């Protein structure tokens, strides 16, 4: 019996495609998909920009700490975290224990452009591109501790998902066979979705923002 929670946890900068990839990956693996931002907005009953506006960033980070506690109970989930989620002290250490952490490492320019196009990112509001780039650089030191780093800038969503599935299978093989009912699907079998780029498709994240509004 495996004692390690078999979650897959996606980290990365705003606009890197965590929600888009996470949703498809969860479908591919037949697992539940959760987003830390959605956990927070459901709890608070208002959107992320509204939370920042009313209570400021420190309060939002406190809500993220509570979301981390809730994640500790999850097994076999795919989790998309907010861009700043792993960057608070001790959080990345905890995530590394909770599952396989995957860094979606898009180029700053691609991620920044996408995040701005979609909007609803208070951490970018009123920040110059230079300041946002500085934030990106600082956060990379945290993200790079992930078990797997993928430069998704020029990868399709399907390719990113297939690469993650392959990594999970390799890890599982190294760890020994799981109970057969828990086996992962073959990396080569068909992936639903299409060949769109991982970081250049606003629709999925746009849908999420609609839900929050
Ligand atoms: C944040 C990223 C956002 C959201 C919040 C703060 C950040 O999530 O958690 O606006 O600090 O980078 P996304 O990474 O999904 O945009």
- Write out pLDDT tens, residues 182-198: 555 543 333 333 344 55
Give 66-85 pLDDT, tens digit per residue.
999 999 999 999 999 999 99
Q: With a threshold of 0.75, does the pTM exceed it?
A: yes
- Tell me if residue 197 falls in helix, strand or coil: strand
- Nearest residue by C-alpha to atom 9 in ligand 1: 82
Q: How much is the pLDDT for 191?
A: 31
Which residues sit with their C-beta closer than 6 Å to ligand 1? Answer: 14, 18, 37, 48, 82-84, 115, 121-123
140 contacts: CB under 8 Å, gap ≥ 6: 105
The H-or-E segment that residue 77 falls in is strand 77-80
Give 84 Cα–ligand 1 centroid separation in angstroms: 6
Q: How many helices (H) and strands (E) does the chain have?
A: 8, 5
Give the C-alpha separation, 64 to 84, whole Å: 9
Give 14 Cα–ligand 1 centroid separation in angstroms: 6
pLDDT band (50, 70, 90) for residue 175: confident
Give the C-alpha separation, 159 to 165, whole Å: 10
């Amino acid at each position: 019996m495996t004692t390690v929670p078999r979650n897959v946890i996606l980290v990365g900068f705003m606009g890197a495609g965590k929600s888009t990839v996470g949703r498809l990956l969860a479908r591919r693996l037949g697992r539940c998909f959760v987003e830390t931002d959605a956990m927070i907005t459901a709890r608070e009953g208002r959107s992320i920009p509204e939370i920042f506006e009313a209570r400021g960033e420190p309060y939002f980070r406190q809500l993220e700490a509570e979301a981390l506690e809730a994640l500790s109970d999850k097994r076999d989930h795919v989790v998309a975290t907010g861009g700043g989620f792993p960057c608070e002290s001790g959080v990345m250490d905890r995530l590394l224990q909770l599952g396989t952490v995957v860094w979606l490492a898009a180029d700053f320019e691609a991620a920044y452009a996408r995040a701005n196009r979609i909007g609803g990112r208070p951490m970018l509001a009123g920040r110059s591109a230079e300041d946002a780039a500085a934030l990106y650089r600082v956060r990379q030191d945290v993200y790079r501790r992930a078990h797997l780093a993928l430069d998704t800038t020029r990868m399709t969503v399907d390719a990113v998902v297939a690469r993650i599935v392959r990594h999970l299978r390799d890890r599982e093989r190294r760890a020994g066979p799981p109970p057969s009912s828990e086996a992962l699907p073959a990396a080569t079998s068909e992936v639903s979705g299409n060949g769109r780029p991982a970081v250049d498709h606003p629709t999925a994240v746009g849908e999420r923002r609609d839900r929050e509004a």
